[in-house]
Amino acid sequence: MFELDVRSRKPIYEQLVERLKELIISEILKTDEQLPSVRTLAQQLTINPNTIQKAYRELETQGYIYSIKGRGSFVSPPSLHIQSEKLEKVKNDLNKLMSEALYLGMSAVDLINMIHNIEIASKGGLEDD
């Protein structure tokens, strides 16, 4: 579930925050799903519990999770902040894929037609001409 690079220049708690955000944004972790306890996750990842606690605090500050005293930490319902971040990730992914398609010989017109067809299909029918 978590791949942390102990040799990375990025602090472990930041890596953990990013990974948990990815799991929440991609909806692998669902709204109101309980996160592993600090102690359990620290044992699984063999890192200091304070590092986990710091990551959870950061996620709570950013609105990704909420805590209930004595019960643990849970995934927050999607907010505009999370949705805009998810949209930004989709845009970045699309940019990479479209750049690759252009590089491989697909024309801009083909891409536009493809987008147009996807839009029509997502609305559930044919376009009124």
Beta-carbon contacts of residue 2 (< 8 Å; ≥ 6 apart): 16, 19, 44, 45
Q: What is the model's pLDDT at position 126?
A: 55
User: What is the model's pTM?
Assistant: 0.65
Structure-model confidence comparison of residues 26 and 77, the more confident one: 77
Give the integer Cα–Cα distance in Å for 14 and 51. Answer: 9
Mean pLDDT, to the nearest integer, of 71-84? 84
Give 108-120 pLDDT, tens digit per residue: 999 999 999 988 8
Percentage of the chain modeled with pLDDT above 70: 92
Instruction: Indicate the helix (H) or strand (E) that contains 21.
Output: helix 12-25
Is the sign of the CA dihedral 6, 7, 11, 16 positive or negative? negative
Six-digit token string for 65: 């999770």
Give the integer Cα–Cα distance in Å for 57 and 85. Answer: 19
Q: What is the model's pLDDT at position 83?
A: 74
Structure-model confidence comparison of residues 98 and 127, the more confident one: 98
Give 14-43 pLDDT, tens digit per residue: 999 999 998 988 889 999 999 999 999 999
Closest CA to 2 of 57, 45, 64: 45
